[in-house]
């Protein structure tokens, strides 16, 4: 991990105009940065603007105020430095697994042989070598999420934005997938921002956890996770101090609720 900043939000605010014509402030004055190779989790109550931040980071939304930077460049639209993965796998049912993984590189115009090579290598790493030519409906939910991860990695982004990637899979599969993600991130030395509601997932997978308040979302705390083995979340689960971190996050989220009642009234 170096000190190069890969992802940065500077004083980002986002207002939406609702159907009723009222404006809604989803996030307000958010600033943070993620260094090269770092995995940072973002937690906060539902509706506090986590996904909004992810959309700003991936260039799909333009922030109302402030700006986002990826690799030192201001984000002004979708760009090849970032790739995202959502709770929904978003696999295209008419494409085989390997074709799904190639979607991004195909759009970006890589030669077909290189596309194939990358997709196959990624799928093999994720234990899906036998499934290259299957269709998504023939795979389990956990396997489909793995394919989605491979598709995200195939474009070789420097920053991965992950929005509750495992919240739709069963608890046991989730643990396996968490370990695969952790190992993959470590091996490829990727930088990642992970949105999650699972506090244990946040602690076991990341170097740092950012806590957001209720809407309008602000960063209200930042916790450095000083535990060994970021590439092995299963081993990390056995660390005694994991519970301390989790309870601290729970506390912080409660404080978030309280501060909302005052902050929300004035917004």
Ligand X SMILES: Nc1ncnc2c1ncn2[C@@H]1O[C@H](COP(=O)(O)OP(=O)(O)OP(=O)(O)O)[C@@H](O)[C@H]1O
Q: Which residues bind another protein (CB under 8 A)?
A: 55, 58-60, 78-80, 82-84, 86, 88, 90, 92-95, 103-104, 106-108, 135, 137, 155
**104 with 154: CB under 8 angstroms?**
yes
* Nearest CB to another protein, comparing residues 41 and 58: 58
Nearer to ligand X, 27 or 128 (CB): 27
Q: Shortest distance, CB of residue 57 to another protein, whole angstroms? A: 10
Closer CB to Mg ion, residue 71 or residue 152? 152
* 3-state SS, one letter per residue, for 64-129: CEEEEEECCEECCCCCCCEEEECCCCCCCCCCCHHHHHCHHHHHCCCCHHHHHHHHHHHHHHCCCH
Task: Figure out which of the listed residues 51, 100, 152, 213 binds Mg ion, where binding follows CB under 5 A.
Answer: 51
Instruction: Quickly tell me which residue has 């460049």 as its tokens.
Output: 73
Smallest separation (angstroms) from ligand X to the CB of 161: 12
Q: What is the closest distance, in whole angstroms, from the C-beta atom of residue 218 to another protein in the complex?
A: 25
Asked whether 266 and 216 are in contact (CB, 8 A), the reply is no
Chain residue whose CB lies nearest Mg ion: 51
State which H helix or E strand residue 14 sits in. Answer: strand 5-17
Residue carrying structure tokens 């196959």? 120
Give me the least distance between CB of 101 and ligand X, in Å please.
26
């Amino acid at each position: 991990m170096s000190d190069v900043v890969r992802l940065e939000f500077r004083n980002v605010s986002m207002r939406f105009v609702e159907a009723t014509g009222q404006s809604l402030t989803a996030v307000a004055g958010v600033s943070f940065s993620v260094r090269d190779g770092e995995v940072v989790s973002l937690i906060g109550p539902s509706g506090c603007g986590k996904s909004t931040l992810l959309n700003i980071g991936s260039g799909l939304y333009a922030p109302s105020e402030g700006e986002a930077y990826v690799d030192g460049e201001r984000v002004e639209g979708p760009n090849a430095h970032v790739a995202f993965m959502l709770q929904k796998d978003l696999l295209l049912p008419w494409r085989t697994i390997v074709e799904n993984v190639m979607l991004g590189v195909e759009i970006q115009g890589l030669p077909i042989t290189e596309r194939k090579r990358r997709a196959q290598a990624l799928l093999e790493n994720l234990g899906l070598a036998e499934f290259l030519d299957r269709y998504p409906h023939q795979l389990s939910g956990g396997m489909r999420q793995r394919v989605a991860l491979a598709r995200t990695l195939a474009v070789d982004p420097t920053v991965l934005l992950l929005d509750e990637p495992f919240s739709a899979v069963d608890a046991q599969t989730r643990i396996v997938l968490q370990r695969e993600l952790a190992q993959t991130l470590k091996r490829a030395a990727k930088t990642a921002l992970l949105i999650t509601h699972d506090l244990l997932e946040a602690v076991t997978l990341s170097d740092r956890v950012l806590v957001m308040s209720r809407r309008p979302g602000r960063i209200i705390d930042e916790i450095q996770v000083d535990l060994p083995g970021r590439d092995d979340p299963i081993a990390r689960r056995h660390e005694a101090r994991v519970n301390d971190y989790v309870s601290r996050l729970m506390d912080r989220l409660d404080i978030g609720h309280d501060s909302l009642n005052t902050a929300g009234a004035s917004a």
